[in-house]
Amino acid sequence: MEMNEALGQVYAQALLAIARVDREISPEESSRVRELVAARSTVTVDFEASFFEKMTPERLANEVPKPDHVTFAQLLIADGVSLATVDGDLNSAEANAILRFARTLGCSAFEISSVTRQLDEYLNR
């Protein structure tokens, strides 16, 4: 999926929202966000923007074109899990944040599990 400037920033802000669920973004997480966004887009991550305007699942769903919802969600699932595990194990707050974004974008449990099995224990909560 090709991401233009606007969609790349939305993607970056969603990743930052996942990283921030445990109240801070570590240097490892900052570095990983940059790497993940660079792999999907040419945008420079605007860390400052995430302090002023929080990305929510509902806002994300409004900013991503409807035909791209599931594809975008699947990318976010894979990259969100990669980001969340950079500093250790996936915790429940991070898993639930990823799932909220994915579900709001219309991903089914099957579509989520097809990306990674690391979220399976959180799917029925």
Contacts of 115 (CB under 8 A, 6+ apart): 74, 77, 78
C-alpha 83/C-alpha 25 separation (Å) is 11
Q: Does 125 or 97 have the greater pLDDT score?
A: 97
Q: Which of 53, 38, 29 is nearest to 3 (CA)?
A: 38
Give the chain's largest Cα–Cα span: 36
pLDDT for position 46: 80
Both tokens of 91, joined, read: 């915790």
- pTM for the structure as a whole: 0.93
Q: Does the pLDDT value for residue 124 go beyond 90?
A: no
Q: Which of 50, 58, 97, 59 is nearest to 76 (CA)?
A: 97
C-alpha 89/C-alpha 81 separation (Å) is 10
pLDDT digits (tens, 9 = 90+) for 27-86: 899 999 999 999 999 998 887 877 778 899 999 999 999 999 999 999 999 999 999 999
- Residue 90 carries which DSSP code? P
